[in-house]
Structures are given as C-alpha cells and as structure tokens.
A and B are shown apart, each in its own frame.
Chain A
Amino acid sequence: MISISGLLGQAFAILLALMLAPLLSGWVGQCRAWLQSRTAPPLLLPYYMLQKLFHKDVVLAHGASSLFRVAPFVVFGCMVLACAIIPSLSTDLPLAPAADALALVGVFGLARIFISLAAMDVGTSFGSLGGRREMLIGFLAEPALLMVIFTLAMTVQSTSVATIVETLAHRELVIYPSLAFAGIAFTFVSLAENARVPVDNPATHLELTMIHEAMILEYSGRYLALLEWAASLKLYAYSCLGLALFFPWGIAAGESFLALLAAIPVLLFKLAIGGFLLAVIETINAKMRIFRAPEFLGTAFMLAVLGLLVRLLLEAKV
C-alpha cells in the first residue's frame, strides 16, 4: 500500500540523495588529501563546482547530435531513479516495485550506454577511447554485480532490494560466510564502476589512463554539471547499496516518521566511515594498468561466484 508517509519518505530520500551526493564526493576528496598530506580542498568544493558550471554557457562541438544533448539528462535521471529505489533511510519506498535488484543493474547499464554513446558521438579520439574502456569495464563488472545480487537474493528469497535489506536487517545474528565473499566482490565492483583508483583515477586528465574523464571531456556548462552530479549520485547510490546490503542496521522499516529521522544520523555516520575507507583504499593502492582491470574484475566475479557456491554448500541445508 502506498501511504502518505511512504511518499514523504520517498521524496525525502531522493532529496537527501541529491543534496548529500556532492558532499560525499567532497568528503572522499578531503580524506584523500589528508591521507596524502596535502592541503585539503574545501568540503563543499563539489557544490561550488556545480554552481559554477550551472552558470556557464554551453559550448557544443560541431558534430554533436541531439544524443549528445540528451545523454546528460538520461544519465542523471537513471542515477536519481537508482538512488530512489535503494533503501538508504527506510525500506518503505513506494518506488521500490519499479525496479528490483536486477533491474537496478540495468538502470546503471542504461546510464553507461548513454554516456558511452555520447562520448563517441562527437567523434574525438579521447571520447571513443573513454567510451570503449567504459564498456570494457562495464561488461566485466556487471556479471560480478549480478552474482553478488544472486547470492543475496538466494539468502532472502527475493530480488527486491527493499525486501532484501528488510530481511537482512531483522534477522538474528548469523554469520554468513557467503555475505563476506559477496561484500568483498561488491567493493571491487563499486571501485571499478565509480572510476576509483585501482581502475581509474577521478582526479586525472592524463590521456593514457583516464576513463570517466575522457568520456565527459567534450561536455561543458550545465551538461557537465549534470554529469558531475550524476557521478557523485552514482557513488552515493553504490555506497548506500553496499551499506544497506552488508550493514543494514539502523534503516527504518516502516511507517513512523521518527524512525526515519533517527535513520539520518546513522546513514551519515556510515557514509562518513565508508567514504573514509574509500579514501584509504585509494591512497594505499596504485592505479592499475588498464589491461589489469579485467583481472581485477575477474577476481571480483570469482569471489562473487565463490560466495554463491559457499552459500549453496554451507547455508542451503537446515
């Protein structure tokens, strides 16, 4: 049943995601700077960036088709939808039936296809290079992500994200070795999907290494702002998904508005810890050669499959 409080909670979750996502990116950037003994940029840097970009005029390449102009909106829309169906604060989400966990992977895939097509659309070599690399990473990361989701779906017998999180949050404390495997695999996949250090460096414009930056090189003005915002929303979505799946405590289950309010500080705390850990991972790892990325993601896939197998062997009976 769709209730008023559910609708309110849903709207609030989307709003919070939109507001909080650049903050998370800023926080990760700041932690990285601290860990590398640099002077940290201001925490609100992504907001300033967005504001600046939204006020700038758009410069379009000569060969740009309408696809190039539509893509930022599609990507942004996909990320907002993803944030809406991932239970970050509450599992009572009226939009949740719109897409289960498998379709969620599809939503991310749709965004990936559009951004890659747009990157190739202008016809610059960097754009097509970035687009191809993105597809390479994507087609290796998606099976691993699906395997992680299968493992979880088998544990709770449902593919709906909200149901999975609700069931996991309210079980008694049982050690699931399969969840540990799935968790590590999920971390690998998120690093690759969000263009983080072992696979891609979000702060680089070095031609040989960039993936995500190469794709958005031709964008400017509000389009670039939307894409940057979408990128931080993607990071936020993956963080929330990981936290909700593997550390589901503190997520409100239902009706009460108080529980929703109580879930906010918990979420902020978890995101802060998660962002710091991400910065640590990015600091202690060097960026891999691009041809090592398949191996990295192959490991993620293997871990996810192992999780599935271990789940079948150790936890299926009884």
Chain B
Amino acid sequence: MNSAIPFSAQLINLFAAVILLLAFAMLAQRRVLALINLFAMQGLTLCLATLVAAVTTSQPHLYYSAALTLILKVLLLPWILHRLVRKLNVKGEVEALINIPTTMLVGIVLVMVAFNVALPISELSHTITRGTLGIALAVVMLAFLMMITRQKAITQVVGFLSMENGLFLAATSATYGMPMVVELGIALDVLVGVIILGVFFFQIRDQFDSLDIRNMEQLKDS
C-alpha cells in the first residue's frame, strides 16, 4: 500500500510529524523553561529532517542549512533564551488568554485548514519531501496561534522562533531549501531579532515591572 514511498521519505514524514507534535506540545506547555526545551527539540528534529533530505538528495547546501539549524536553533537560541529567563527571573506558569484545551481545539482546526490548503500545492511539487508541506504550514499557523494567545513577551518570542522553524520546513519540503544567501540572511535576522527582543524585555520590565504585554496597550503620549 505504502511501499511506493521510499524509506528516506518515510523518515522525513516521521520527523515532520514529530515537529507537528512538538508544536502542539508547545501550545499545551505551561512552563517557560520547558517551553524553551521543547523549542530546542523542535529545532533538533528539524535539523534531522533536513539532514535526511540532504543525504537522500545529496544537495550540499542542505547540509549547511542543517548545520545552521543545529548551531542556531538547538544550541544558541535556547541558550540565549535560558539566560534571559534566568536574568529576568521569569518564574512559573505561562499565562494564556484562552484556556489551553480550547487553544488545542483551535489548533486542530488550524491543522485541518493547513492540510487542505497545502494538498493542491504539494501536488505541483516533485520533491520527496512534498508531503510535509501541509505540516510545515500547520506549524506556522500553530506558532501564530501561540503568539496570539500568550501574554508574556518571552513566550511570544518562542512562538516567533517556532514559526521560523515551520517556514524552514516549508522551504525544505517544497523546494529543498531556500538559496543559501536567503537562509543565512534569515538566520542572522532571527538571531539579531532575539538579541534585540532580549534587550526589549529588560526595557519592558523596567517600565512596567512585568513582562505582561497587556501593559503596553495603555501606552500614551503625554
């Protein structure tokens, strides 16, 4: 029945499914530190998926992007985020605007939408990874959902980074990755973005004594 799918594609599909699972786990996670660890795991899975794609298609630049993912998203960014959490002394639970089971249900609906949208697109593609396009889209949308439903600035940044994971997966699945220049550019962007946001965190906290972004709705020129 499924014998026509080569083994490497099965592996990639499996990794993509794990990425989707981790995206949901991030949605359900209540603790900030565990959230960051989940993000690192998602990065690692993405790296493995890219690596498998690179080995199967022997495209050299996919090796680079796998290495880039490993360094940036598995080691560097989680380390920066861990340090931020320690320095900002963010403890305890992530506060969600909608309760978590409802968020999950909305998430399932988003996954359905993403899968349906991606199906005709992936028909046009001829890569072995094309099946995962729907998952990539779903991960992007779930990350969006996470950014929308969370109050704390740090979780929103993790959502942003997770969205980048999804985009990366989409690029790999549709066209075997973006050109190297673009990829490097995005990686650098994300890195700089996180560093700048880290500085922002401190500013926000100094201003409001909390990282709750609802405070920022009351900003007024005076």
Contacts and interface: CB of A to CB of B under 8 A. Distances in A.
B14 interface: yes
Interface stretch (B5-13, B57-65, B214-222): B5-13
B114 to A, nearest CB: 9
Contacts of A315: 2, 5, 13
B115 A309 contact: yes
B111 A306 contact: yes
A180 B108 contact: no
A305 interface: yes
B112 interface: yes
B17 A310 contact: yes
Nearest to A295: B101
Contact of B17 (A174, A177, A295, A317): A177
B134 A313 contact: yes
B24 A306 contact: yes
A298 B105 CA distance: 9
B108 A305 contact: yes
A12 to B, nearest CB: 32
Nearest to A155: B1
A2 interface: no
Contacts of B18: 177
A306 B20 contact: yes
Contacts of B118: 313
Interface string B9-33: 0110110111011001000100000
A174 B2 contact: yes
A157 to B, nearest CB: 9
Contact of B14 (A177, A294, A302, A313): A177
Nearest to A297: B101
Contacts of B213: none
A175 interface: yes
A313 B17 CA distance: 10
Nearest to B115: A313
A299 B28 contact: yes
Interface residues of B, number: 32
A313 B24 contact: no
A172 interface: yes
A208 interface: no
A180 B14 contact: yes
Interface residues of A, number: 25
A175 B13 contact: yes
Of residues B16, B21, B24, which shows the largest number of chain A Cβ atoms within 10 Å of its Cβ? B21
A103 interface: no
Nearest to A171: B1
A312 interface: yes
B104 A180 contact: no
A175 B107 CA distance: 25
A302 B20 contact: no
Of residues A305, A313, A314, A317, which shows the largest number of chain B Cβ atoms within 10 Å of its Cβ? A313
A175 B10 contact: yes
Interface in A229-287: none
B13 A314 contact: yes
Given A181-B21, A305-B108, A310-B17, A174 B3 contact: yes
Contacts of B13: 175, 177, 314-315
A152 to B, nearest CB: 13
A309 B111 contact: yes
A206 interface: no
Nearest to A184: B21
A181 B17 contact: yes
Contacts of A309: 108, 111-112, 115
Interface in A175-230: 175-178, 180-181
A175 B17 CA distance: 11
B169 interface: no
B135 interface: yes
Contacts of A177: 13-14, 16-18
Q: Which are the 6 A-B pairs with shortest beta-carbon distances?
A: A177-B17, A175-B10, A318-B4, A298-B101, A314-B13, A314-B131
5 contacts: A295-B100, A303-B24, A309-B112, A314-B16, A314-B17
Given A177-B18, A299-B104, A314-B16, 15 more contacts: A175-B13, A178-B17, A180-B17, A181-B21, A295-B100, A298-B101, A298-B104, A303-B24, A306-B20, A306-B108, A306-B111, A313-B115, A314-B131, A318-B1, A318-B5
Interface of B: 1-5, 7, 10-11, 13-14, 16-18, 20-21, 24, 28, 100-101, 104-105, 107-108, 111-112, 115, 118-119, 131-132, 134-135
Interface of A: 171-172, 174-178, 180-181, 294-295, 298-299, 302-303, 305-306, 309-310, 312-315, 317-318
